[in-house]
Amino acid sequence: MQSIEPLARPSQLSETVSQTIEAWIREGQMPAGARLPTEKMLASDFGVSRAVVREAISRLKADGLVTTRQGAGAFVSDRPSGSSFRLDAPEVDAAQALADIFELRYIVECAAAAMAARRRSDVDLAVMRAALSRMDEALVDWADATEADDAFHTAVAAATGNRAVGRFIRFMGGQFFESRVPTWARTGHAKGWARDSQEEHHRLFAAIAARDAQEARAAARAHLVRAASRLGVDASHWDEVPVGLDTLVPTGGDE
């Protein structure tokens, strides 16, 4: 391995550490099965805290590049080339990254909604209904329902009965979580974003409950286009954009 220069900037340290280790793995400097240096050694070499190293290892583990063994440390996965891909790309700015994620959600979740309508069970509906209830309560108190919002979309994915779809939507939820926050912030409540979003959720739920696949797809499509618009993402180039998009004026997200 190449020598390591201590990191000077405190921001995104764990990301920098994980990217460096990933490069070692991709370039063959650390072959499959190799044991990573200890947290203490990596922290010393990079000039960061052990907590930063721990977070970096967690990132690599989530990406499938490393595995951990109780009491033995972290090891390069047997098949690191087959690891899960990451959505973040250093060469893409934040606005473009958000637009890309929204469009990916649009492609996957519209189909998932229709599938959920055809396959859902009563248990699936109960999970969705519970998440909707938490969001309804948050509307009254102008409270944060970001986690309930994420849980609702995860429940729709689970209702497809396709475990790969469910895992993918859960992964997307983790990538997309922060973009839900403005909707449920106090300014989001004040602007009506939370109310509008919840109306869209209820429409989607009703379609799934009625086993109306066509309406479920349309409801998911409308929700994603409107959610994108609320955060200033231009969805006009998406296929099958719902009629009336031209009445939606992007307002930009809150910081």
What DSSP assignment string belongs to the chain? ----PPP---TTHHHHHHHHHHHHHHTTSS-TTPBPPPHHHHHHHHTS-HHHHHHHHHHHHHTTSEEEETTTEEEE-S-GGGPPP-S--TTS-HHHHHHHHHHHHHHHHHHHHHHHHHH--HHHHHHHHHHHHHHHHHHHHT---HHHHHHHHHHHHHTT--HHHHHHHHHHHHHHHHHHHHHHSHHHHHHTHHHHHHHHHHHHHHHHHTT-HHHHHHHHHHHHHHHHHHTT---TTSTTPPTTGGGPPP-----
Q: What is the pLDDT of residue 240?
A: 59
Whether the model pTM is above 0.75: no
Q: What is the pLDDT of residue 92?
A: 58
Q: What is the pLDDT of residue 97?
A: 81
- Residues 187-235 have pLDDT tens digits of 999 999 999 999 999 999 999 999 999 999 999 999 999 999 998 999 9
Tokens representing 126? 């109960």
Domains of the chain and any CATH numbers:
13-82 (1.10.10.10), 94-247 (1.20.120.530)
Q: What is the pLDDT of residue 243?
A: 38
Q: Which residues of the chain fall short of a pLDDT of 50?
A: 7-11, 82-83, 241-255
